[in-house]
Chain A
Amino acid sequence: MRYTDLSSSDREQEQFRFRLGFAAGMVLLCFVILFARFFWLQVVKHDYYSTRAEENRISLVPIIPNRGLIVDRNGVVMARNYSAFTLEITPSRLQEDLETVIEQIGTLIPITPKDRKRFKKLMEESKNFESIPIRTRLSDDEVARFAANRYRFPGVEVKARLFRQYPLGDVASHALGYMGRINDKDLETIDNAEQTPNYKGTEHIGKAGLEQNYEFQLHGETGYEEVEVDAGGRAVRVLSRTAPVSGNNLSLTLDSKLQEITEQAFGSRRGALVAIEPSTGGILALVSKPTYDPNLFVDGIRGDDWDGLNTDPDKPLLNRAIYSAYPPGSTFKPFMALAALVQGKRTPSQAIADPGYFNFGGHQFRDDKKGGHGMVDMYKSIVESCDTYYYILANDMGIDNIAAFMGQLGLGQRTGVDIQGESEGVLPSQAWKKRRFKKPEHQKWYAGETISIGIGQGYNAYTPIQLAQAVATIANDGVMYRPHLVKYITNSRSGEKTMVEPQPIRDLKLKPEHLAVIKNAMVGVNKAGTGARAFAGAGYESAGKTGTAQVFSLKGEKYVEGATKHHLRDHSLFIAYAPAEQPKIALAVIVENGGFGAAAAAPIARMVLDYYILGKVPKGPANEDEEGDDGGH
């Protein structure tokens, strides 16, 4: 019995030891599995997890670069930056109702209804996770007051930001443009330029003018701070810093003083003026009236300001200088005369007898001067602005010959100026009409339509910058430059200057004797012709041509019955260059509803030339209420 007991006990121990061995095997197996898992994570996938850990740990904080400055040809600063504190709300991070939070902030820092309006507008434009300024330009005192109460406002922060500033206010706003918050369309532009990484952290972008066109030059290179963050996203320490590189500076061909004087010369009138340096194409002044203050846009334009600019019947945001196309009126005549000479349709001395009208196809085309100008040669036709001469000339040349030469002068096509928003205008021709109209009966060009083209009416419509370019080309003896605003770009890192437009785009190869006739006649205009009164006693020799354009709508704008009489008046135009020998400046000016060219436009041109040639600063706007009564159409 005792024996069996022992043997059973031994067997039991045997079995136990076997099972213990089995368990040990299982333990070993499990540990091998664990080790395999560690090997997989720490050796095979180590790189992957290392990267993941670094991504966890390191956050790249962009440092926005200083935007490049814009200075005029004399170094006068037209756009710069200033640093200011803003109070910003990130709506998605708020723990309370937005209105309540703003209300509570209001007890610490004054928030005006205007601030609220702007905030609301920005909210609509932006995404929920962005931080949006509720107050800008905080005083030191306000910053301190908020800082002490910061803990009460999660999702509300004081930030130091750089803002764009235009020290000259509304001067040259259409050339400079303005800044605005980046929207979806801008993001696309940025993406297409492969600039997306560089715009991390950037919130504003050029929306118009030079700010828009030279955006990628002005922006600069975004710097980065590598910051170590904890799981809660709090910065623990700065690991490294890549300094931002400031944007490149733009030096303009524009003369800000000339620009300012020109804008003042317009007074309250609507219109545009483009002045160009003929030998380079550099734009000296680019005026579109009325103007606006680009500073309004800097920290988010308020809703009512924006609505005001948009609904103003005078359309201040419209860049008339490059977008609005006007019939050139009689300013077209020197170009017609030149075309006739070049194409051999007229000699300078060839004269017509002007009875005061021209009959064509059963219709009488009248000259402005009753009874006519008598015997008219080319010189007299320009100086006295004889219509009949050009009715006949246009008829003789035919529409397509006219179009061919005017196209050479750059009319009816975009000049390629370095700001966006240019329109083509209309250079009428048979082909144009075919393109323009859909119905076959409208597509045919009638010979009768050519007649009024000769005096710059009819379908003719050109932008002020096109006219200025054409005048500048004549002033520069047929060598044409692309009009441009930026003279050179200064690299902020190397200081290297890149010229923008060193090469002419075209040489019309005009014969000196042809040029001499036209130039001589244009000088005559200002000496003894339609421009004589405006240029009396100028003290320098200038060349010019008046023009009056009938107000009619090519683009089918509605005729408004209740519109004031003023809006039905003719547009007043003037083209000029000076000095007559070796011109330094060429310009085209249009005053909307200004009446006769000699009355409204020519005096503005006189002020511009007086300042640019003589340095004479005018005392006020050019006489606004003078009704033109001579033949300056």
Chain B
Amino acid sequence: MEAIRRYWCKAIEHLDGPLLTIALVILGIGTATVYSATYIGLSRMGPQAVNLLIAFSVMWMVAQVPPQKLLRFAVPLYVLGVILLLAVWLFGIKVNGARRWLHVGVTRIQPSEIMKIAMPLMLAWYFHKHEAALRWRHYATASMLLLVPVAFIIKQPDLGTAILVLAAGFYVIFFAGLSWKVIVGLIAAGAAAAPFAWTMLHDYQRKRILTLIDPTSDPLGTGYHIIQSTIAIGSGGIIGKGWLNGTQTHLEFIPEKHTDFIFAVFSEEWGLIGNLVLLLLYLLLIGRCMMIAANAPTLSSRLLAGAISLNFFTYAFVNMGMVSGILPVVGVPLPFVSYGGTALVTLFLGLGILMSIHTHRMLVKK
């Protein structure tokens, strides 16, 4: 008995209770919503359980590894990611006009996913290496490390992932102390370059942005998704239509209803109150992550933790923003809610890294 207790304590030693609890609550909400979104069926519940098991294992394993050791993976992982992106560019599979996938034996992988974790890891490692004397050239190099893979991802084209990777990398550079002047300058330059960037966008991407401004301009085409999801959200009202009672959901008016647009399903069935609860849960999650970041003992772990915290925010904000019609439609899942194995594993990997940073901080100080 005592032995079991000891093993148990050992097993959960590197887990963070509050973080895990919040994540699991959001995941619970997500699973209930997926259940409703998929014809009130159990078809997605089995795979979801398997995904969760894998994701949980990944988290647990990563949490056991001290942050310093995690940093050793930074360069190989980053290099692997870049090589795979190059491979996608050369031999990738085209699906719906976008070259995002790579055949690896029996399955296919999306290398841009790897970059979501590899990028902050790499940049954190890089800044850690040059910790003592950070000069502008270090920031410039870091920017290059960031922009090259992002350019590949944009080229695929996969605007959603590119934004997420770009954001993740930028957060690291920001937390590393990039001068405010440069940040303001970048924003100004971005605004100035917007018309130029506009011409670089693909037709469908431009259409999505135009549709955002006026969804009714193309009610049966690009605008359809936004119109139907805003109808779902709006018709939910304050208290919602109740779990399993969303008409927009169950009559198939919402596209991608168990993945990217799942927030419309949740919002229709749970209303403004549900949305408020979900927003607060995300705030708690991000808040806990930031606490971990604030207390992280080393620069690299601070940067990593800060970037991961803001990653969760980016996912949640971009997804809810696009489904409610204030941001363009880009393929970003709602963290811990949208159905999908890869996304879940990536998210729990992030949690694992945070837990590792948090539970190993005393060891570092010692």
- Name A residues whose Cβ lies closer than 8 Å to a Cβ of B: 8, 12-13, 15-17, 19-20, 23-24, 27-28, 30-31, 33-35, 37-39, 41-43, 45-46, 48-50, 52-54, 56-57, 228-232, 236
CB-defined contacts of A41 to chain B, threshold 8 Å: 230, 233-234, 324
Mask of B234-274 contacts with A, CB within 8 angstroms, 1/0: 11111000000001100111000000000000010001100
Which residue of A16, A20, A57 contacts B247 across the interface (Cβ within 8 Å)? A57
Contact of A34 among B171, B279, B306, B309 (CB under 8 A): B279
CA distance A17 to B294 in the complex (A): 6
User: What is the interface size of chain B, counting residues whose CB is below 8 A from a CB of the partner?
Assistant: 46
CB proximity of A146 to chain B, nearest CB, Å: 29
Q: Contact check, A53 vs B248: say whether CB atoms are below 8 A apart.
A: yes
Judging by beta carbons under 8 Å apart, are A30 and B234 in contact?
A: no
Q: Is B286 an interface residue (CB 8 A)?
A: yes
Across the interface, name the chain A residue whose C-beta is closest to B312: A27
B residues less than 8 Å from A230 (CB atoms): 251-253
Q: Are A229 and B299 closer than 8 Å at their CB atoms?
A: no
| Those 3 A-B pairs whose CB atoms lie nearest each other, nearest first | A49-B234, A53-B235, A41-B234
Q: Which residue of the partner chain, among A15, A20, A24, A49, contacts B231 with CB atoms under 8 Å?
A: A49
Take A34-B321, A42-B275, A57-B251 as given contacts and tell me if A24 and B233 are in contact as well, using a CB distance cutoff of 8 Å: no
What is the minimal beta-carbon distance from A573 to any residue of chain B, in angstroms?
Answer: 67
> Which residues of the partner chain A approach B275 to less than 8 Å between Cβ atoms?
35, 38, 42
**For the complex, what is the distance from the CA of A52 to the CA of B236, rounded to whole Å?**
12
Given contacts A49-B231, A56-B247, contact A34 B324 (CB under 8 A): yes
Indicate if B177 sits at the interface (CB-CB under 8 A). yes
| B232 within 8 A of partner (CB) | yes
A-B contact pairs, 28 of them (CB 8 A): A16-B175, A16-B177, A16-B302, A19-B174, A19-B175, A19-B177, A20-B175, A23-B174, A23-B290, A23-B309, A27-B310, A31-B283, A34-B279, A34-B321, A37-B324, A38-B233, A42-B237, A42-B275, A49-B231, A49-B235, A50-B234, A50-B235, A53-B235, A54-B235, A56-B231, A56-B247, A230-B251, A231-B252
Is B287 positioned at the interface, with any CB of A under 8 Å from its CB?
yes
Chain A residues, CB < 8 A from B237: 42-43, 46, 50
- The residues of B that contact A45 with a CB separation of less than 8 Å are 234
Q: Are B294 and A56 in contact (CB under 8 A)?
A: no
A16, A38, A50, A52: the one contacting B272 at CB < 8 Å is A38
Contacts of B344 in A (CB 8 A): none
Q: How many cross-chain pairs have Cβ atoms below 8 Å apart between A and B?
A: 126
Closest Cβ–Cβ distance, residue A234 to chain B (whole Å): 9
Chain B residues, CB < 8 A from A37? 321, 324-326
Q: Using Cβ atoms and an 8 Å threshold, which residues of chain A touch B276?
A: 35, 38
Q: Does B293 contact A (CB under 8 A)?
A: yes
Q: Which residue of B lies closest to A228 (CB)?
A: B251
Give residues 53-110 of B contacting A (CB, 8 Å).
none
Q: How far is the CA of A23 from the CA of B183 in the complex (A)?
A: 13
Show the binding face of B for A, using Cβ within 8 Å.
131-132, 171, 174-175, 177, 228, 230-238, 247-248, 251-253, 267, 271-272, 275-276, 279, 282-283, 286-287, 290, 293-294, 299, 302, 306, 309-310, 313, 317, 320-321, 324-326
Please measure, in the bound complex, the distance between the C-alpha atom of A23 and the C-alpha atom of B286, giving whole angstroms: 11
In whole Å, how far is B180's beta carbon from the nearest beta carbon of chain A? 10
- A50–B317 alpha-carbon span in the complex (Å): 25
| Inter-chain contact A38/B267, CB cutoff 8 Å | yes
Instruction: Using CB atoms, name the residue of chain A closest to B224.
Output: A231
Q: Kindly list chain B residues whose C-beta atoms are within 8 Å of the C-beta of A42.
A: 233-234, 236-238, 267, 271-272, 275
Which residues in A have their C-beta under 8 angstroms from that of B321? 34, 37
- Chain A neighbourhood of B290, CB < 8 A: 20, 23-24
Write the nearest CB–CB distance from A433 to chain B, whole angstroms: 65
Q: Point out the residues of chain A lying under 8 angstroms from B175, CB to CB.
A: 16, 19-20, 23
Which residues of B lie under 8 Å from residue A52 when comparing CB positions?
231, 234-235
> Which one, B131, B171, B251, B272, contacts A43 given CB within 8 A?
B272
Q: Which of B231, B287, B309, B317 contacts A30 (CB 8 A)?
A: B317
Closest A residue to B229 using CB positions: A41
Least CB distance from A456 to B in Å reads 70
A78 to chain B, nearest CB (A): 47
Interchain CA distance A315-B84 in the complex, whole Å:
85
**Do A39 and B326 touch (CB < 8 A)?**
no
In the assembled complex, the CB of B305 is this many whole angstroms from the nearest CB of chain A, namely 9
Query: B297's closest neighbor in chain A, by CB?
Result: A13
- In the assembled complex, which residues on chain B have CB atoms less than 8 Å from the CB atom of A30? 313, 317
- For residue A230, which residue of chain B has the nearest CB? B251
B235 CB to nearest chain A CB (Å): 4
Residues in B neighbouring A232, C-beta threshold 8 A: 252
A228–B238 alpha-carbon span in the complex (Å): 24
The CA-CA distance from A45 to B324 in the complex, in Å, is 13
Contacts of B325 in A (CB 8 A): 37
Contacts of A38 in B (CB 8 A): 233, 267, 272, 275-276, 324
- B172 to A: closest C-beta gap in Å: 11
Residues of A within 8 A of B132 (CB): 8
Is A31 touching B279 in the complex (CB atoms < 8 A)?
Answer: yes
The reply to whether B233 and A56 form a contact with Cβ atoms under 8 Å apart is no
Closest Cβ of chain B: how far from A31's Cβ, in Å? 5
A145→B293 CA distance, assembly (Å): 72
Interface residue from A16, A46, A228, A236 paired with B235 (Cβ < 8 Å):
A46
